[in-house]
Amino acid sequence: MNTENHSQTAAFLWSIADLLRGDFKQSQYGRIILPFTLLRRMECVLAPTKDAVLAQAREHQNKPDAVRERLLLRAAGQQFFNASRLTLETLSDTQTAADLMSYVQAFSKDAREIFEHFEFENFVQQLDNANLLYQVVQRFAVARLSPDDISNRGMGIIFEELIRKFAESSNETAGEHFTPRDIVHLTTSLVMTGQDDKLKPNSIVTIYDPTAGTGGFLSEGEEYIASISEKVSVSLHGQELNPESYAICKADMLIKGKEVENIKLGNTLSDDQLAANRFDFMLSNPPFGVEWKKVQAQITKEHNEKGFDGRFGPGLPRVSDGSLLFLLHLVSKMRDAREGGSRIGIILNGSPLFTGGAGSGESEIRRYLLEQDLVEAIIALPTDMFYNTGIATYVWVLNNNKPANRVDKVQLIDGSGHCAKMRKSLGSKRQYITEEQIAELVRLYGDFQATDKSKIFHYKAFGYRRITVERPLRLNFQASAGRIERVLAEKAIQKMDSDAREALIAALQTLDDGTLHTNREQFARLLKKTLAANGVPLSAPENKAVLAALSERDPQADICLVKGEPEADAELRDNENVPLGESIHDYFEREVKPHVPDAWIDEDKLDPLDGQVGIVGYEIPFNRHFYVFQPPRLLEEIDRDLKACTDRIKQMIEGLSA
């Protein structure tokens, strides 16, 4: 079935929601239409073997539940069955709710649970109370959702379109539930291309998505492998936070005949329900820019207590964006390279490329990924590709078993121009990637050649060492009336009793002869002598407060010394990022000293991992590497265009006044 027919079917199912207007909120439409759509699809899938299942149900009605379930599954020829004589078409018009729930309860256990996650019984009762249930049932009973009419892939597209429509109507974010199919296809193709060794006939391959949504990546991964070799067994694994998306994903797996015990419900970051598993291929589109504050306690605990034995050893990103946590989670599930390793495809926004300076959680995560040589390629996608956002996005491809020519290398591919305009926008999605463009991007990746759209770097090209550059503190001192006022504002002086404070001020006023002192050591001795002569003893904190209040920065003053060494001025402190591999001293002499001759490097600031001077940081300035300078237009051209424009305006004005 073509995409247009998918849209027509989705439009028909969407139109059933018109019955709900007035009795239900728009935000509730999806929670009614989606489970009924699933129910009708499952009914259509089971239709060819329904009589055989009913016959077996009658024959084995007295056998233990486990035995009976195995026999009915075999009779159904699917991973689920329904042992009721009822269908949507034959439900009674007088006791529709009771019949419908009886029908749903006759499904096998995994299928029943799907409807529980939609709170189906609750909505059935609400529909019955509003006298709408029988009308809704009759509409769905005629929907043509059999596998002969719509493939499993087509059904996935229909579900996604319904979710998007309902999310838009209730101002929710559809993009959190699924990824556009063109992006899914591209990411899957990038991750699985050239993996002939893993996809040999009779091999078993595992695919995992920690943000499974409705199962788009899992389905696409399985279809991709089937297109290469039907003799490869594929085991699908996933976890999803949203109960309704999870229910659709689980139903999709059941309908396709896949085992569903490896599809889990829950928060992947705080409750990894496949903790012991490792996978061949991993695909994910985690939510962009979503904070992880709700699970911060669990994640921080794992980071602190388990370190690199847990998932988040390299570091933690800022709490406002958890996408890098999903990336670390996937890396923790890579197979050992000696067992063939793993490949990851994950879609991220721009911030994981560069957010956070040296020593930050984000930088330390990038450092780990690059220094462990896990990052194979990053592909920039066009903007306006997702249903709920138009921001720039990137596909990261990671591999812990790189081919020899890719070792220590990272490939950047600019795919931002590989797109076509959609005839009709779908939310924020205004562009899509054609099959030909997907093939071109996969070819660029596979060729691993430097071109204007493909750049290849040693991973250290993204690293730098942040050194701290200090400059000396220079102060002048004066006991002027204004500065003495500042002395009184110091906390240490305010704590003195009033008589001592008055004596101090009187002593300082004897120094007010208009002299501007430019040497701290000399002025400190003069101050000490004056206070002693006036019988004003000061504690060390009080003396420090007086000196601070009487001073001002002065680039012409002498350098302030501590134990014979220059004291650093915190206000003039600066940082320089020195490319990894370059001597920090050579860089300093060339780039800093000519401009500030009195500066020096703080050699006490050491990197905690390698112990060398300067903190190591990593960032991937993707756009900088593909920037092409566009020279400004010639002034003559601009003048010519301006003249033509003003001439047209004059003609229009003359035409109006004629």
Predicted confidence band of residue 426 (pLDDT cuts 50, 70, 90): confident
Counted domains in the chain: 3
pLDDT at site 92:
92
Cα gap 181→128, rounded to integer Å: 37
| Percent of the chain clearing pLDDT 70 (strictly above) | 97
pLDDT at site 169:
65
106 with 247, same domain: the answer is no
Is the pLDDT assigned to residue 554 strictly greater than 80? yes
188 with 310, same domain: the answer is yes
Least Cα distance to 418 among 401, 436, 396 occurs for 436
Is the pLDDT assigned to residue 599 strictly greater than 90? yes
528 with 384, same domain: the answer is no
**7: helix, strand or coil:** helix
496 with 447, same domain: the answer is no
The verdict on residue 631 lying in a domain is no
527 with 410, same domain: the answer is no
pLDDT at site 196:
85
Distance spanning both ends of the chain, measured CA to CA? 62
128 with 205, same domain: the answer is no
Cα gap 213→175, rounded to integer Å: 10
What would the pLDDT profile of 454-504 be if each residue is shown by its tens digit?
999 999 999 999 999 999 999 999 999 999 999 999 999 999 999 999 999
What is the number of other CB atoms lying within 10 angstroms of the CB of residue 68? Answer: 17
Predicted confidence band of residue 578 (pLDDT cuts 50, 70, 90): very high
The verdict on residue 601 lying in a domain is no
What would the pLDDT profile of 614-632 be if each residue is shown by its tens digit?
999 999 999 888 887 778 8
What would the pLDDT profile of 5-32 be if each residue is shown by its tens digit?
777 888 899 899 999 998 998 888 888 9
What would the pLDDT profile of 234-243 be if each residue is shown by its tens digit?
999 999 998 9
Is the pLDDT assigned to residue 1 strictly greater than 50? no
The verdict on residue 410 lying in a domain is yes
140 with 262, same domain: the answer is no
**287: helix, strand or coil:** coil
What would the pLDDT profile of 260-278 be if each residue is shown by its tens digit?
899 999 999 999 999 999 9
Least Cα distance to 335 among 457, 509, 204, 459 occurs for 204
Last residue of a domain, one of 432, 465, 498: 465
The verdict on residue 636 lying in a domain is no
pLDDT at site 248:
87
pLDDT at site 175:
44
320 with 414, same domain: the answer is yes
pLDDT at site 2:
45
The verdict on residue 108 lying in a domain is yes
pLDDT at site 273:
96
496 with 455, same domain: the answer is no
Phi, psi of 492 (to 5 degrees): -60, -35
Cα gap 150→7, rounded to integer Å: 12
Q: Helix, strand, coil: what percent of the chain each, to 5?
A: 50, 15, 35
451 with 499, same domain: the answer is no
Predicted confidence band of residue 403 (pLDDT cuts 50, 70, 90): very high
Sheet bearing 343-349, strands edge to edge: 263-265, 233-240, 204-209, 281-284, 343-349, 393-399, 375-380, 409-414, 454-458
- Residue 562 β-bridge partners: 565
Domain span at 542: 475-566
pLDDT at site 6:
79
The verdict on residue 502 lying in a domain is yes
**Two tokens at 580?**
């990894």
Cα gap 368→350, rounded to integer Å: 18
Predicted confidence band of residue 287 (pLDDT cuts 50, 70, 90): confident
Identify the CATH number of the domain in which residue 322 sits.
Answer: 3.40.50.150
Mean pLDDT rounded to a whole number for the chain: 91
The verdict on residue 616 lying in a domain is no
Give residues with Cβ within 8 angstroms of 461, minimum separation 6: 579
